[in-house]
Chain A
Amino acid sequence: MKAETLERRSFLLGLGGAMALGGTRLALAQGPAGDKRLVVVLLRGALDGLAAVAPYGDPGFATLRGPHAPPEPGQEGGTRDLGGFFGLHPALARLHDLYVADQALVLHAIAGPWRSRSHFEAQDFLECGATQRLPDGWLNRALAAMPAETPGSARRGLALGIDVPLLLRGPVRVGSFASQARARPDTQVLAALARLHRADRELGPAFAEGLRSRGFSSGVLAGLEPPPPGTSGFVTLAGSAARLLADPRGPRVAALELGGWDTHATQGPRLAGALRVLDEGLEALRAGLGAAWAQTAVLVMTEFGRTARINGTQGTDHGTAGVAFLLGGAVRGGRVLADWPGVGPGRLFENRDLAPTLDLRRVAKGLLADHLGLNEAALARAFPNSRDADPLPGLVA
């Protein structure tokens, strides 16, 4: 326990111990790669990393966020401590349990190499693994390097939901699974549509009544009340993904996605609701995978972070660096991995966003190398032109 605590400190102090290890990743790749599971969770809309994982130890943070900075660990409604400097949003209670069990790794001040702050472009880049649009995704190209499925087994790749995300599109055929429940647009989209309909004499009243009949009152749409229960298919899908992945003849790589992160206004309650759904979904993954959890790594990532300061509508706008999570029985967790850039005066990227100090591609490549056993050539195919982003070692046991 003592050693782990020290290790956590060394990371949170920005010493970057694991990065210094370098060059040992081949030695770390062990066990039959065929049993490893990799799940990628795409958070579409840009999660506010500073709200999800608050750097309460940074004196600049309280100044920056003022009343929007959450209470510190130990206080009422406070964040859950991640080793004395960062605090995890209270809605991520089960993720915190995993952290305590050394099965969750938090990656902070992380970003892809793009800086455009456009959701659509950034999501495409996040998924295709390049800074130009490609027709296929890095996870599909990674599948191409894995041994093909044996007869009678499911496809190695699995897309959860109605659609196959770009991340998993490409020459390797993947399976897909959608639950019966139809995916509902998230509350913010409904709120935007309600606004657009309001002035319409013919449609306005009917649209508002329709939303009300589905449990979306004006309070819900304004982000003041939680959305009605059962609005997220994510938890169900995560549970289904887990059961399929747990099957010895099932898929080994899966992708699912969750929206609702684009919190331009009334971020507090909106984010809490979305994080709770994420937390429940991750728990459904863990529970459903059973013994296979020990062989599993789950990468949770988003297209970019949000502005460090709160905007004029109690929300945050599109930013740069943010947070990613890596969890699973195979993960060397219980740590926050961050070369912390600080959020005090003069430390922000373009005087507005958390500055990126860790390239998201390094995490993805590190996982593909050490968890799925991809060699250097396969990594280069998955992430073209990424020589400046070498695989991050030491992510998995």
Chain B
Amino acid sequence: MTPLAAHAAIRFGLGARPEAPVPADPSAWLASQVAPLPELPGPGLGDIQAALRAQRRDIRHPGVGDIFRAEAAAWAARMITTRIPFAERWANFWTNHLTVSRRAFQTTAWLGHYQRAAIRPKCFGRFEDLLLAAYRHPAMLGYFDQNNSTGPTSAIGRRGRGLNENLARECLELHTVTTAARYSQQDVASLARILTGWSSGRGEQFSEADGFLFRADTHEPGTKRLLGREFPPGEEGGAEALRFLANHPATYRALAAKLARHFIADAPSRASLGWIEGAFRDSRGDLAAVARAILAEPEARVPLRKLRSGEDYAIAMLRALGLGTEGAPALLAVLTRLNQSLWNAPAPDGWSDAATEWAAPEQLMRRLDWASELAGRAAAGGGTDPETLAQTVLGPLARTETLAAMRRTGSARDAMIVLLASPEAQRR
């Protein structure tokens, strides 16, 4: 394995697997993954509505939990076994950017569907289409309490209900322009008015759609002003506003910075930022073009500069050990131990990419504990040679002092603990 191939698997992929080394041309291998993601099977909107209905009748009904567990297991199995790890990382990045967390329990049933149906099909398309797909999904609408946001002078609003600014505020602050755009409280309220009526249907029981539903009777009438622009009333006004925000220069800059922090460094250079921002501008937010620009950025080729999040670390280790889909429960369990349980970010800003977030004493001790268990199982399972494992995990990026320390240990198990808990295994 060349250093570049190892780097491609570690930084852009999810870590190498023993039986699937990175092909001789790592750049071509990565570029080939910039393509629409395959559709995934799973419960549909109707199935989810049925489970929610059952849960409303009986809080102990297992339907919602079953759906979540099946979706989580499918995600975990995919992470461990996928042969298009860059594309999967890309989908995870956008899922995290447009975070919906199950800490808001009403989202639990929708989360798997959200990534499968809203994020994945759009994450190599235009950012505006990705944003719209997310904002039309019941997961997002439920997470930010958008379903009951009512225009004060709409038909329903006149009976005393009102606005909920939650989605509008996070849209501006987190998903699009960020505070760098210096929007005002009036802009927030205005976007909230624009988005009134955007909600999820309650399914056939209420003779409503299973998914997105525009409720004209809660929509605030009239033209609204947002960041100096006017938007017409109606569902189309919301879509126009979101497209406007998605293609705002401040959005391009913010997204470029976030991508650079994920794929290049915690403190990326101005040149890197400018390069990715340029790709956004030149392609009008085509995420495939942006992905290709990142892959071509020379600074993205400096290896092991990023600290792995708990999720990144766990996935990479299980892949290196050659686990198959049977490793899914172990992955989900360790995510919880590493304080990053699946689709469960503490806040709408999602999981951090910064080293300061992950280089914590207890985090590292938990990784060490888990590495020790993994190494024990690998040693007991036989057939895992520590040096071969080092080749899979790091290839030529393994430091000589780490390899030497491995050789000085007293058992294959201890050698693998040293490898899996080594500083370079914490990096990507």
Interface of A toward B, CB cutoff 8 Å: 44-46, 119-120, 123, 135, 161-166, 169, 182-186, 188-189, 192-193, 195-197, 200, 202-204, 206-207, 209-211, 213-214, 259-262, 264
B409 near A189: Cβ-Cβ < 8 Å:
yes
CB-CB nearest in chain B for A118: B407
A189 near B417: Cβ-Cβ < 8 Å:
yes
Count of chain B residues with a beta carbon within 8 Å of a chain A beta carbon: 39
A200 near B410: Cβ-Cβ < 8 Å:
no
CB-CB nearest in chain A for B426: A203
B376 near A119: Cβ-Cβ < 8 Å:
no
**Which single member of B364, B402, B409, B410 contacts A206 (CB below 8 Å)?**
B364
- CB-defined contacts of B422 to chain A, threshold 8 Å: 193, 196
Comparing B172-180, B239-247, B291-299, B354-362, the segment that makes contact with chain A is: B354-362
Comparing B57-65, B102-110, B343-351, B367-375, the segment that makes contact with chain A is: B367-375
A183 near B361: Cβ-Cβ < 8 Å:
no
A-B contact pairs, 13 of them (CB 8 A): A45-B411, A120-B386, A162-B376, A162-B377, A188-B414, A192-B418, A193-B417, A195-B405, A197-B423, A203-B359, A203-B426, A207-B364, A213-B365
- CB-defined contacts of B399 to chain A, threshold 8 Å: 196
Confirm or deny: B229 has a beta carbon within 8 angstroms of a beta carbon on chain A.
no
Confirm or deny: B394 has a beta carbon within 8 angstroms of a beta carbon on chain A.
no
**Which single member of A123, A184, A213 contacts B412 (CB below 8 Å)?**
A123
Tell whether A207 pairs with B361 under 8 Å between CB atoms, given A185-B417, A189-B417, A196-B423.
Answer: yes
B362 near A185: Cβ-Cβ < 8 Å:
no
Interface of A is mostly: loop
Distance A225 CA – B259 CA, assembled complex (angstroms): 47
Distance A162 CA – B369 CA, assembled complex (angstroms): 13
**Which single member of A44, A166, A182, A189 contacts B369 (CB below 8 Å)?**
A182
A-B pair count, CB < 8 Å, reads 119
Q: How far is the CB of B135 from chain A (nearest CB, A)?
A: 36
B382 near A163: Cβ-Cβ < 8 Å:
no
- CB-defined contacts of B359 to chain A, threshold 8 Å: 202-203, 206
Confirm or deny: B74 has a beta carbon within 8 angstroms of a beta carbon on chain A.
no
Tell whether A196 pairs with B418 under 8 Å between CB atoms, given A162-B377, A188-B410, A203-B423.
Answer: yes
A262 near B409: Cβ-Cβ < 8 Å:
yes
Q: How far is the CB of B81 from chain A (nearest CB, A)?
A: 23
Tell whether A202 pairs with B376 under 8 Å between CB atoms, given A196-B423, A213-B361, A259-B414.
Answer: no
Q: How far is the CB of B363 from chain A (nearest CB, A)?
A: 8
Tell whether A185 pairs with B373 under 8 Å between CB atoms, given A44-B410, A193-B418, A206-B360.
Answer: no
- CB-defined contacts of A184 to chain B, threshold 8 Å: 369, 372
- CB-defined contacts of B421 to chain A, threshold 8 Å: 185, 193
Confirm or deny: B19 has a beta carbon within 8 angstroms of a beta carbon on chain A.
no
- CB-defined contacts of A197 to chain B, threshold 8 Å: 423
Q: How far is the CB of A70 from chain B (nearest CB, A)?
A: 22
Confirm or deny: B307 has a beta carbon within 8 angstroms of a beta carbon on chain A.
yes
Confirm or deny: B45 has a beta carbon within 8 angstroms of a beta carbon on chain A.
no
Q: How far is the CB of A141 from chain B (nearest CB, A)?
A: 15
A163 near B365: Cβ-Cβ < 8 Å:
no
